[in-house]
Amino acid sequence: MKGNEAIAEAAIRANCKHFFGYPITPQTEISAYMAKRMPRIGGVFLQAESEVAAINMVYGAAGAGVRVMTSSSSPGISLKAEGISYIAGADLPCVIVNIVRGGPGLGGIQPAQSDYFQAVKGAGHGDYKMIVLAPSSVQEVVDCTFDAFDLADKYRVPVMILGDGMLGQMMEPVVFPEKSPKCEQKDWATCGTKNKRKPNIINSLYIEPQDLERLIIARQQRYNAIAEKEVRFEKENIEDADIVLVAYGTTARIVKAAYEKARKNGIKAGIIRPITLWPFPEKIIAETAQRAKAIVCVEMSMGQMVEDVRLATGGACPVGFYGRAGGMVPEPEAIYDVIRRYV
Amino acid sequence: MAVVFKRTEGLTDAPFHYCPGCTHGIVHRLIAEALEELDVLGDAIGVAPVGCAVFAYNYFNCDMQQAAHGRAPAVATGIKRARPQSIVFTYQGDGDLAAIGTGEIVHAAARRENITVIFINNATYGMTGGQLAPTSLVGQITQTSPYGRKVELQGYPIRVSEMLATLEGAAFIKRCSVDSIKNINDAKASIKKAFRYQMDEMGFSMVEILSTCPTNWGLSPVESMEWLRENMIPHYPLGVFKDIEKGGGV
């Protein structure tokens, strides 16, 4: 199954019956799949007039208490940024997919990782966070999609699945989990009072500074709980490693080839692959920095995640960087050369 | 003793924050009474705009969502598609609906979105202090057209009802005013009709209501009503622009 189609099918199986989108390359298979499947299962697929409208439809549906998703690619996510900020400010759960392409501007349509800052540091205005999941295989795309809906509902936050054009187009065998989706009771949702309760209000406006600060602090406490409980990463041979490579998504697969070559040639290399980009696996990187001779970060960008890696190390070891951009993909040989430079 | 008049159940006890002489309060009450009389308060979900009516979620006694500026029709679409049995309405001003949210309102109508829009047209941006709106009249002095709206600079005001009535997805479009008892009663009947069209799943319905903004117009409430009658109604004629029950058309 294609990565993009796997996201769509996994979302449907996770009980997402509402999808609002707008066409953009390279995520179109998600919309196409939803357009075909949703009417057959009594769900809603709606192609909005813009990315801005699509994310606001997500806001409305999430506020009405259903599992809802939208997907886009980089320039489209910039347009959705306003809505994402409102969703975060109204504490609404939803899933947003970004199949990243090269930027800035129209950029290109080939895979890139240049939206890390946008995803992790907040694209829209205000003090807010999104949980950001970065799968690196089509199977992990499926698993992350299931988890994304559960996490969104559990913490009432927007969750982003950050892929890239390569992951979206890649075909791999997948197994869909047999678990039935969790269904949180959403007694805060607007679905009509039925004259039985006080009105529910979905809102992000708090004109009194004391009220707004109180809410922001409460939300921050929820973010702290997420940072404590939901960090995910994969590691390989970092215990004895001199050089530890850090990479996420499809780049991590390429890095693995360079790592294997290094090991074969007697270089003690290891890998840390963050799966959650926020919350960032800073603890394991901090620990690793105490032992390793160097950490090397590889990205399909001019260096974005590397800033979080540097922060996590606290300067305990040198941090190297290798990146390609604009849709160019790093080659294992080039990564291997960077590893050798730090031995 | 027989009750001959009581406060509508459709409004909460929260006091309105609107300026004296502003017509938002009248329109709020008409909507609330319409929902109550149609017995759909418990099914209603309203969408509040950005603008003077931003706090509408505190006033209507039904579930409410607050939308970003201009996005109310998209938010309402999401709600209606998630809860098709609900009665979903937006309450939007002219800056919200006819400037920043033009795309959303046009496409909600074109999609035959089964929602009701209450459009408050007072020819200015009230909350931000009276700037030029897409519906400001030619020659109208505002904070951002201090020498009057000039067609060479700012072009012409948009007649939203006439524009949306050209779309096949629109079921009922009417322009009303709340400057007299007669017109207030007509506005209420029109709002009720718009909701009834939604209940019967007939498509998009909108009631535009010509409104006053004494504070930003720099006129007294009485002078504002006169200004509305003398200047706005000639440019924005009252009446039905679309009614599919009567075969459509003006």
Is residue B120 one of the residues assigned to a domain?
yes
The two tokens of residue B93 are 């001003």
Is residue B138 one of the residues assigned to a domain?
yes
- pLDDT of B250 > 50? The answer is no
Pick A59's closest partner by Cβ from B44, B75, B107: B75
CA torsion angle for B118, B122, B124, B130 (degrees, to 10)? -110
**Which amino acid is present at A332?**
P
Domain region containing B50: 24-246
Is residue B220 one of the residues assigned to a domain?
yes
**Among residues 66-105 of chain B, which lie with CB inside 8 Å of chain A?**
66-68, 71, 74-83, 85-86, 103-104
The whole-number pLDDT of residue A181 equals: 74
Is residue B153 one of the residues assigned to a domain?
yes
Q: Which residues in chain A are closer than 8 Å to B65, comparing Cβ atoms?
A: 59-60, 63, 90, 190, 201-203
Fold of A234-342: Rossmann fold (3.40.50)
Instruction: Supply angle C-alpha A141, A145, A149, rounded to 5.
Output: 165
Q: Give me the phi and psi of A219, to 5 degrees please.
A: -65, -40
Is residue B14 one of the residues assigned to a domain?
no
Is residue B9 one of the residues assigned to a domain?
no
pTM: 0.97
Mutate to test the interface with B, among A34, A55, A56 (most CBs of B within 10 A): A56
Compare all CA atoms of chain B with the CA of A65 and give the residue at the minimum distance.
B82
Q: What is the mean pLDDT of chain A?
A: 96
Query: How many angstroms separate the CA atoms of B237 and B175, rounded?
Result: 7
One fold for both A3-229 and A234-342?
Answer: yes
| Per-domain residue ranges of chain A | 3-229, 234-342
Residues of chain A above pLDDT 90, percent: 96
Residues of chain A above pLDDT 70, percent: 100
Q: Which residues in chain A are closer than 8 Å to B86, comparing Cβ atoms?
A: 64, 191-192
Reported confidence tier of residue B246, pLDDT bands at 50, 70, 90:
confident
Residue with tokens 């039904």: B62
Residue with tokens 């599919």: B244
CB contact, 8 Å: A190 with chain B? yes
**Among residues 51-90 of chain A, which lie with CB inside 8 Å of chain B?**
52-54, 56-66, 68, 82-83, 86, 90
Query: How many angstroms separate the CA atoms of B63 and B89, rounded?
Result: 11
Q: What is the mean pLDDT of chain B?
A: 96
Domain holding B129: CATH number? 3.40.50.970
Mind listing the pLDDT tens digit for each residue in A278-312? 999 999 999 999 999 999 999 999 999 999 999 99
Contact call for B65 and A54, based on CB within 8 A:
no
Reported confidence tier of residue A182, pLDDT bands at 50, 70, 90:
confident
Arithmetic mean of pLDDT, A125-152:
97
Contact call for A201 and B63, based on CB within 8 A:
yes
Mind listing the pLDDT tens digit for each residue in B179-236? 999 999 999 999 999 999 999 999 999 999 999 999 999 999 999 999 999 999 999 9
Is residue B28 one of the residues assigned to a domain?
yes
Q: Which residues in chain A are closer than 8 Å to B82, comparing Cβ atoms?
A: 18, 44, 60-61, 64-66, 68
DSSP letter (8 states) at residue B214: H
Mind listing the pLDDT tens digit for each residue in B90-140? 999 999 999 999 999 999 999 999 999 999 999 999 999 999 999 999 999
Reported confidence tier of residue B35, pLDDT bands at 50, 70, 90:
very high
- pLDDT of A184 > 80? The answer is no
Q: Which residues in chain B are closer than 8 Å to A82, comparing Cβ atoms?
A: 68
Mind listing the pLDDT tens digit for each residue in A89-112? 999 999 999 999 999 999 999 999
3-class secondary structure, A270: strand
Compare all CA atoms of chain B with the CA of A188 and give the residue at the minimum distance.
B63
The whole-number pLDDT of residue A179 equals: 75
Mind listing the pLDDT tens digit for each residue in A226-239? 999 999 999 999 99
How many domains is chain B partitioned into structurally?
1
Longest dimension (CA), chain B: 63
The whole-number pLDDT of residue B247 equals: 61
Q: Which residues in chain A are closer than 8 Å to B58, comparing Cβ atoms?
A: 201
Is residue B85 one of the residues assigned to a domain?
yes
In this structure, the number of other CB atoms found within 10 A of the CB of residue A132 comes to 26
- ipTM (interface predicted TM): 0.96
Q: Which residues in chain A are closer than 8 Å to B42, comparing Cβ atoms?
A: 192-196
- DSSP H or E run through B176: strand B170-177
Residues of chain B above pLDDT 90, percent: 95
Nearest CA distance, B17 vs chain A (angstrom): 13
* A&B contacts, CB < 8 Å: 134
Nearest CA distance, A12 vs chain B (angstrom): 15
Q: Which residues in chain A are closer than 8 Å to B103, comparing Cβ atoms?
A: 49-50, 52-53
Class of domain A3-229: alpha beta
The two tokens of residue A224 are 């702290």
Tell me the helix, strand and coil percentages in chain A, rounded to 5: 45, 20, 40
